[in-house]
Structure 1
Amino acid sequence: MDTQSPFYARVVALLSLLTDCQADLANAYSGRTLQTLFITLLSLVAGQLTPDSAAVPAREGRGPQIERAFQQLLRQHYAQWKQPAQYAAALNITVAHLNDTVKALTGTSVSAHLQQRAILEAKRLLGFTDRSVKEIGYALGYDEPVYFGKLFKKVTGLTPQQFRYQFRD
């Protein structure tokens, strides 16, 4: 394995976080954090093992193709595109069709995926950078820092500052 690859660096970082969290099981959120980190590690490895989307079998239904294309667009544009309509337009389908398809396959709405992806990146930035909450909100495409803070708290149950302090302690 190439020890200089971004994949390797991410795996090492995740394993380090898992080890640190395992050592701190007294924290009320440690179990949940361990589960999330483990799922992230598994997803990262699965992403390396999954064949390229260009090699999709011809007999596969359109739904999984739409969902995969949506996930790819989400990875590329989560900081700029905040509306499901932007993703639907890029896929040349209606918002309703996109939402129905994604929800049927993942159990989660398109809007929830958008929020989750932005919050995941916010957590990464809060944990591993010293950027201010305002700067992180702007970097993630939120024009109003107050809205970003409220969204973060709604999704995580913590303010961005509380998350940062808890993550770093």
Structure 2
Amino acid sequence: MTVMHDGARLFVASYLVQKTELDRVWRCGFHALLWLNGGQAALQCDGEHFDVHPPSLICLSPGQVYRWSAADKAARATLIGFEADLFTAGRAQSGLLDVQLLHDLPLFQPEGGAILAADKNAGNLDSLFIMCRQRYQQLSERQGSKSWRVLPSEHESVLLAYLHVILVEAASLAPVQEQPRPAPSTDLRLSRLFRLHAGQRVVERLPVAYYAELLHVTPDHLTRAVRRSTGQTPSVWLQKQLLIEARRRLILTDQPVERVAEALNFGSASQFSQWVRVHTGQSPRQLRQQGRGKSTVLSGN
């Protein structure tokens, strides 16, 4: 699983896909923007296959499993990874991102994940990713003999400024809505912040009260806001996300059912199996067999 190191909340990396990343399986522990400008590549994400034609921007959400399955020699990707709390924690601090401005970005949708064709503003995005990478190299620090670099917190605001503009450019790539959408309400904003945080920690099976405290509201307030915005309660949403995660682990990895149950914080494999059957009408093994009929099995990360 790819995660942030040493307390970092944002990082930038650039690599030749064919040389370093081909067929390596990654599991996102953060939100990520992947910029491909030049070359051709193919990406598998949660079992689906995508042919990626440059210039393209790929949005990935926490928990998603992906790998580059093909690429030519010219395919280079630049990755910006960032934590959700950049959008919420310490909102009084300067330099933090404006969540409302970015609501329409596919990255913020409940299902997560999108590949956006970027022809109309490829030049802007390419320049922004290059500048972001350069500034990260200048401001980040190598951790001793380790291979990764960490951005000190005092330099976060500089990279956040670049990320902000990149996300605004990305939001403009989304298809135009046929009907104008109303301005996001307080309920909608709170609901999206809940899903943003809970999506990163769904396997911990934390109670709704935990997220309510994190967002400085009561559990009842959060429940009402999420229900009014999505038509379902936070508890139901959490259960659905946990089921998505169970499907990922059963279908996309070779982990035994017992290990999947443990990873998802169930008390036993039998408890997990009963839960899966209640929600799908199938046993975990049946779900795995059915899903593998249409998906590529990845390694057991």
TM-score (norm 1): 0.68
Structure 1 residues 124 and 6, CA gap change in structure 2 (3 angstroms): farther
- Residue 62 (str. 1) matches residue 186 (str. 2): yes
Judge which range, 93-102 or 136-145, deviates more: 136-145
Residues in 1 aligned to 2:198 and 2:263: alpha-carbon distance in whole angstroms: 15
Residues in 2 aligned to 1:67 and 1:12: alpha-carbon distance in whole angstroms: 24
Whose RCO is larger (CA < 8 A, sep 6+)? 2
More helix by share: 1
**TM-superposition CA deviations, 1:80-103 (whole Å, max 9, x none):** 133111111111111111111111
- Residue 14 (str. 1) matches residue 48 (str. 2): yes
Indicate the RMSD between aligned Cα atoms, in angstroms. 3.2
More strand by share: 2
Structure 1 residues 12 and 143, CA gap change in structure 2 (3 angstroms): closer
Residues in 2 aligned to 1:141 and 1:157: alpha-carbon distance in whole angstroms: 21
Aligned residues between the structures: 137
Match in the other structure for 2:240: 116
Does the 8 A contact of 2:43 with 2:49 survive in 1? no
Please give the secondary structure, in 2, of the residue aligned with 1:9: strand
Residues in 2 aligned to 1:167 and 1:62: alpha-carbon distance in whole angstroms: 38
Q: Structure 2 matches for 1:119-134, cutoff 5 A?
A: 119-134=243-258
Q: Unpaired segments of 5 or more residues in structure 1?
A: 17-39, 52-58
Structure 1 residues 152 and 45, CA gap change in structure 2 (3 angstroms): same
Does the 8 A contact of 2:46 with 2:252 survive in 1? no
Q: Structure 2 matches for 1:1-169, cutoff 5 A?
A: 4=17, 5=34, 9-10=43-44, 13-15=47-49, 43-45=112-114, 49-50=170-171, 60-169=184-293
Does the 8 A contact of 1:79 with 1:140 survive in 2? yes
Task: Report the AA paired with residue 205 of structure 2.
Answer: W
Task: Report the AA paired with residue 139 of structure 1.
Answer: A
Does the 8 A contact of 2:277 with 2:283 survive in 1? yes
Deviation of the 1:76 alpha carbon = 1.4
Identity level (%): 24
Residues in 1 aligned to 2:16 and 2:44: alpha-carbon distance in whole angstroms: 11
Does the 8 A contact of 1:88 with 1:94 survive in 2? yes
Structure 1 residues 12 and 132, CA gap change in structure 2 (3 angstroms): closer
Please give the secondary structure, in 2, of the residue aligned with 1:158: coil
Residues in 1 aligned to 2:189 and 2:251: alpha-carbon distance in whole angstroms: 34
Match in the other structure for 1:34: none
